Structure 1
Amino acid sequence: MSIAACGIDFGTSNSTAAVHTPDGPRLIALEDGRPTLPSAVFFNLDEERQTYGRAAIAEYLEGYEGRLMRSMKSLLGSGLMEAGTEIGGRLLPFRALVGDFIGTIKHRTEAACGHACDAVVVGRPVRFVDEDDAADRLAQDTLEQIVRGLGFAEVSFQFEPIAAAHAYEQDITREELVLIVDIGGGTSDFSLVRLSPERRALADRSADLLGNTGVHIGGTDFDKRLSLACVMPELGLGDTLRNGAPIPNSVYYLLATWHTINQAYQGKVWSGFQEIARNLAEPRRFERLLNVIRKQAGHQLAMQVEAGKIDLSAADLSTLALDEAEDGLRIALKRGEFEAAIAGEIERIGVAAETCLAQAGVAPSRIDTLFFTGGSSAVPALRQGLAQRFPAARAVEGDLYGSVGCGLAVVAGQRYG
């Protein structure tokens, strides 16, 4: 079957692609039979090649010499996008990095379809950049330039929560007023939409979109807060020098933030560490930090924190094994501590959701359904916070990783046939 159009959800943590068929949207198996491709690239210097997704993470963890990049979407709209990173003695522009990754999605999608995809609907957050319209426009313009450079003749965009609404609408049996809650790796997006079986075939749904808001907070921010609150203190955050001054905290923030981890390995940063080490009142915890930097194990540390966060969605306790910092080091993470660390983020997300309704002049009591998508929407504290704000709404969980991609395919079918 010939398929000329597809949808691509280029995510902060995971990416998907889908096509629209007579039987409805179909996610493409992008890696090892799975529809998700982790948004990761590893530059394997030992074998002089690039790997993507789970394969990239596996090679990094196996100890190959090289550089791992994650959360590349977070660079869009920032000054870093026009910079690059040094890989094996050469400078790789971040534009090229993003293009290589999305190009891999395009290639694998076309291989699965057996046909070139010459049109694409790309998902985008409601806000790439908070409170800066120029930077937000620049982010989409940059992404469009990158995608067009891959050979797509037609490129258009759809807000990710609207795409998720299209996916949910394929299965409903009555009209609903729905707040789409899309909590991804980098952003939290909300759309208030009127959905019904009668409306889902219409190409123009502008009258059914009642409100759209977003805030640049997502799962990677939860990772960062958990790391700073519970893990980085075990590596010296908060310790003091002999003169009583606190250890500079900048490197801890670099290591706790996915897209800045590699900056912690720069030579000038290491020189600063040496000076700090000579002036410490108690060096043991800081030595753990030095071990992480020596081994360039920052991403491995961040993965452990991310895994702990995921564990805490289902349990009250998780134990992190941090052997990259010190052999045998174990840290207990408690759900209560995690929830306290992200309380500010949860509040801002809740305010963004209420703002979406305020745009439309709709009272919270009128919402029929909260439709959750995005991997980070599984955090219990987030769901509880939204349930308190919208007590009359029933909660429905979509495909946390695939709803947006499927919805983009529906839109692609409507726009391009």
Structure 2
Amino acid sequence: MTDPVLTIGIDFGTTNTVVAVTRAEGQAEVLRFEAPVGDLTAFRSTLGFQMHQAPGQAPERVVTAGPWAIDAYVEDPLDTRFIQSFKSFAASPAFTETVIDNRRYQFEDLLGAFLLQLRGHAGEGMADLPPRIIVGRPVTFAGGSPDAALALERYQAGFERLGFTDIRYAYEPVGAAFFFARTLKTDATVLVADFGGGTSDFSIVRFEQTSDGLRSHALARSGVGVAGDAFDYRIIDHLVSPELGKGGQYRTFDKTLPIPQRYYAAFARWDQLALLRASRDMKDIRDIARNAVEPEKLARLVEVLDDNHGYALYQAVSALKMALSQDDEATFAFEAGSVEIEAEVARATFEGWIAPELAAMEAAVDEAMAQAGLEPGGVDRVFLTGGTSFVPAVRDIFARRFGADRIETGGEFESIASGLALIGRETDLDLWTERGPEQH
């Protein structure tokens, strides 16, 4: 018989969600999901909503999540409301609700629906839940002027729907630090850099070997609300949006006016594409398309939105980023329906596009070092985690400061959840976690 789960750690990410558990023996175990594409540990943070009607029965709303939501969307893009990256508006007071199939969903409704689907697909791994869960949170939430207290209130409401009564929150890079600490043989000061889809977070932790085992002390933390999704937007803004009419003009009466830039701002967040398709702006876009100086480009924009080509675009952008992490030059290729966009991109060009985000990340590292009162020589090891850590320009931020020999990687998609589950076994949880808003 399998030992009961004692603690759960969950890394609810902008792109992927990972769940880890600890049992009596104390090791962290990452849960696996039997998905259509094969077993996986990184469960895509996506939701799908469809109205299904069996013969002779009333319509029924079908909710899917993860790879099952992606499959539903790919199979029937026109009738599937597909939502991804919804974590990115957790801390946004401007986001109050969205309407899906005439039903209103607040953020906590979306999160609750996602978590229920996640639990269902985890099977026995999340069958008998303990009362306590350690939830990862970014140091700085994504978005303009993010409200962290609001985000945690929304998290709390969503996780309570699974039945947890002791919900605690720990900073994501601290979770990664606990994961990395398992490999340490001597005392060390560790800088952890966690690069997600929406945020980049940094934490400096001192680990010391004692007679009672490994002890740790948090020295500093910082973060910035940009990461992989911001890199994606730079690629789209330079390669895709101009082919969809950005920077163009349209005629109205006796005037020639610029096409509004706000239509293309929606590409900054994947979740916004579905919202734009259902907004009043869609009528204006169709009107502009009929009067555009370059109507073929606006026709592509209409098709991308109408036919839900957002996921195909996401795949093309991700493929380019991955290729440029390995090669000095790569081909961007996006093909969906009648829309085809192809371009050669040099790594140096891409690094120029993302220079503002790289500068923001570097400034956050400066902030963490200043908080800890450390010079580069005071950091013994640097642990990089998260998908964006593979981008050479990101790694170079740390190689230039600390030297390549001090940089460690590994468990890019599993380290945070595993570390969070291990934090749940600490005797003094208040040192590393904070309680939910109404648990104080």
Whole-Å Cα distance in 2 between the matches of residues 211 and 200 of structure 1?
Answer: 24
Q: Is the Cα contact below 8 Å between 1:322 and 1:331 reproduced in 2?
A: no
AA of the residue aligned to 1:194: R
Q: Give the 3 Å change call, closer, same or farther, for CA 67–59 of structure 1 in structure 2.
A: same
Q: Is the Cα contact below 8 Å between 1:120 and 1:154 reproduced in 2?
A: yes
Q: Secondary structure at the match of 2:305?
A: helix
Q: Once the 2 structures are TM-superposed, how far is the Cα of residue 125 of structure 1 from its aligned partner? A: 0.6
Of 13, 16, 24, which aligns to 2:15? 13
Q: Is the Cα contact below 8 Å between 2:332 and 2:344 reproduced in 1?
A: yes
AA of the residue aligned to 2:91: G
Residues 3-82 of structure 1 aligned to structure 2 (within 5 Å)? 3-21=5-23, 22=25, 24-32=27-35, 33-46=39-52, 48-64=61-77, 65-82=79-96
* Cα deviation digits, residues 45-68 of structure 1 (max 9, x gap): 346412211121122122352111
Q: Secondary structure at the match of 1:51?
A: strand
Q: Is the Cα contact below 8 Å between 2:135 and 2:170 reproduced in 1?
A: yes
Of 79, 91, 114, which aligns to 1:101? 114
Whole-Å Cα distance in 2 between the matches of residues 227 and 123 of structure 1?
Answer: 29
Q: Once the 2 structures are TM-superposed, how far is the Cα of residue 179 of structure 1 from its aligned partner? A: 0.6
Q: Once the 2 structures are TM-superposed, how far is the Cα of residue 8 of structure 1 from its aligned partner? A: 0.8
Of 203, 223, 229, which aligns to 1:220? 229
Q: Is the Cα contact below 8 Å between 1:308 and 1:320 reproduced in 2?
A: yes
Whole-Å Cα distance in 2 between the matches of residues 34 and 89 of structure 1?
Answer: 33
Q: Once the 2 structures are TM-superposed, how far is the Cα of residue 217 of structure 1 from its aligned partner? A: 0.8
Q: Is the Cα contact below 8 Å between 1:130 and 1:215 reproduced in 2?
A: no
Q: Once the 2 structures are TM-superposed, how far is the Cα of residue 145 of structure 1 from its aligned partner? A: 2.6
Does residue 297 (structure 1) correspond to residue 309 (structure 2)? The answer is yes
Q: TM-score, normalised by structure 1?
A: 0.91
Q: Is the Cα contact below 8 Å between 1:5 and 1:416 reproduced in 2?
A: no
Of 243, 258, 264, which aligns to 2:276? 264
CA RMSD of aligned residues (A): 2.4
Gaps of 5+ in 2: 54-60, 430-440
Q: Is the Cα contact below 8 Å between 1:179 and 1:367 reproduced in 2?
A: yes
Q: Is the Cα contact below 8 Å between 1:163 and 1:405 reproduced in 2?
A: yes
Does residue 239 (structure 1) correspond to residue 263 (structure 2)? The answer is no
Gaps of 5+ in 1: none
Q: Once the 2 structures are TM-superposed, how far is the Cα of residue 348 of structure 1 from its aligned partner? A: 0.5
Whole-Å Cα distance in 2 between the matches of residues 169 and 68 of structure 1?
Answer: 38
Q: Once the 2 structures are TM-superposed, how far is the Cα of residue 201 of structure 1 from its aligned partner? A: 4.4
Percent of aligned pairs with the same amino acid: 31
Whole-Å Cα distance in 2 between the matches of residues 236 and 160 of structure 1?
Answer: 39
Residues 171-210 of structure 1 aligned to structure 2 (within 5 Å)? 171-198=183-210, 201=213, 205=216, 208-210=217-219
AA of the residue aligned to 1:406: S
AA of the residue aligned to 2:64: T
Of 102, 111, 115, which aligns to 2:128? 115
AA of the residue aligned to 1:27: V
AA of the residue aligned to 1:146: G
Q: Once the 2 structures are TM-superposed, how far is the Cα of residue 267 of structure 1 from its aligned partner? A: 4.8
Range with bigger deviation, 257-266 or 183-192: 257-266
Residues 312-323 of structure 1 aligned to structure 2 (within 5 Å)? 312-323=324-335
Q: Give the 3 Å change call, closer, same or farther, for CA 249–153 of structure 1 in structure 2.
A: same
Q: Once the 2 structures are TM-superposed, how far is the Cα of residue 322 of structure 1 from its aligned partner? A: 2.8
Alignment: residue pair count: 412
Q: Is the Cα contact below 8 Å between 2:8 and 2:19 reproduced in 1?
A: yes
Range with bigger deviation, 326-335 or 363-372: 326-335
Q: Give the 3 Å change call, closer, same or farther, for CA 324–397 of structure 1 in structure 2.
A: same
- 1:87 alignment counterpart: 100
Q: Which has the higher strand share?
A: 2
- 1:340 alignment counterpart: 352
Q: Give the 3 Å change call, closer, same or farther, for CA 35–78 of structure 1 in structure 2.
A: same
* Cα deviation digits, residues 163-183 of structure 1 (max 9, x gap): 100000012111221110001
- 1:166 alignment counterpart: 178
Whole-Å Cα distance in 2 between the matches of residues 129 and 275 of structure 1?
Answer: 33
Q: Is the Cα contact below 8 Å between 1:120 and 1:412 reproduced in 2?
A: yes
Whole-Å Cα distance in 1 between the matches of residues 334 and 418 of structure 2?
Answer: 37
Whole-Å Cα distance in 2 between the matches of residues 81 and 146 of structure 1?
Answer: 16
Q: Is the Cα contact below 8 Å between 1:180 and 1:372 reproduced in 2?
A: yes
Q: Give the 3 Å change call, closer, same or farther, for CA 59–46 of structure 1 in structure 2.
A: same
Q: Is the Cα contact below 8 Å between 2:28 and 2:422 reproduced in 1?
A: yes
Of 406, 410, 425, which aligns to 1:398? 410
Q: Once the 2 structures are TM-superposed, how far is the Cα of residue 303 of structure 1 from its aligned partner? A: 3.1
Q: Secondary structure at the match of 2:249?
A: coil
Whole-Å Cα distance in 1 between the matches of residues 30 and 338 of structure 2?
Answer: 42
